[in-house]
Amino acid sequence: MYLLQTWNACISGTHWVWEILKMLTQNTTEISRVPKESAMLEFRTREEISALNRPRVLNTHFLSEAMPKDTEKEGVKVVFVMRNPKDVLVSAFHHFSKESGKDGSPFPTIDEFKKLFLSPQGRFKCHQC
């Protein structure tokens, strides 16, 4: 089993890497018709994961500390995606600004967002930075 690990707010390329892992493990160049979210650890029970076809490619936004304790014992191969924090900041800014503007609330400027992003208490914090 492969487990793709990224952090949710970092817009780090989870979908692209998940597609690549699926293609490599299934020996195909076809893009998966199954939504990436259907393979997320956060949305599946242990029984549902066990029922998935092998080889399994799952993904998660859990931090390492929150990963299931038996991940290492079971021989799960973890692919951790990290991206340049500067790129992450810009991608996250655009991603969150699109989502936040829907309710009409003001969104911070890029400079304000950067402070929130880098702050341990900020709502847009990034553990990779």
Question: In this model, does residue 9 exceed pLDDT 70?
Answer: no
Q: What is the mean pLDDT of residues 22-37?
A: 88
pLDDT single digits (tens) 76-96: 888 888 888 788 888 888 888
Tokens of 102: 């829907």
CB 85 within 8 A of CB 7: no
* pTM value surpassing 0.85: no
Question: By C-alpha distance, which of 46, 42, 17, 43 is closest to 32?
Answer: 17
pLDDT computed for residue 129 by the predictor: 45
